[in-house]
Amino acid sequence: MRRAVSLATVTVLLAGCGGSDRRVNEPRPAPLVNMTAAVQDGVIRVSPRTVGAGQIVLIVSNQSDRPQRVTFATDELGGTRGGRTASTPIIPAKATGRLTIDAREGRYSVSVRDDGIRAARVFVGPPRPSGQNRVLLP
């Protein structure tokens, strides 16, 4: 009986020792940035118009009288290399939508297919700093 108990104790102690690999503590990514966009008759308004590179959540209010699909895309005039393009699902008239994108540095346009609504321009600057050692972040 003693032998079984001591063997079980040794087995448990050895199992709890763990491996010898060191865990790499990678810094946290930059906190999310919320941007708002309003699709109105004739224009799209975006705030803020300048943010740092990283993950962006674009909250869109479609204030027009028609359903719209909002696209966040590399601005051809800006010459962004390796930029990202993403679109919302169709947002019904007088409703809201949401789009999450990991934007790289460069110039972007926020647009809809309707040629009567002018696109907004957004500038994405250098990457935002890490959220490391910042408390109360989501």
Count of the separate structural domains present in the chain: 1
Instruction: Report the alpha-carbon distance of residue 117 to residue 114 in Å, rounded.
Output: 6
Looking up residue 116, the CATH number of its domain turns out to be 2.60.40.420
82, amino acid identity: G
Task: Please report whether residue 84 resides in a domain.
Answer: yes
Domain that holds residue 50: 33-127
Q: What angle do CA 44, 48, 53 make, to 5 degrees?
A: 110
Task: Please report whether residue 96 resides in a domain.
Answer: yes
Asked if residues 103 and 78 have their Cβ atoms less than 8 Å apart, the reply is no
Q: What is the pLDDT of residues 5-59, one digit of tens each?
A: 777 777 767 666 666 677 777 888 888 899 999 999 899 999 999 999 999 999 9
Task: Please report whether residue 90 resides in a domain.
Answer: yes
Measured CA distances, 18 to 13, 21, 23 (Å): 10, 9, 12
pTM tops 0.75: no
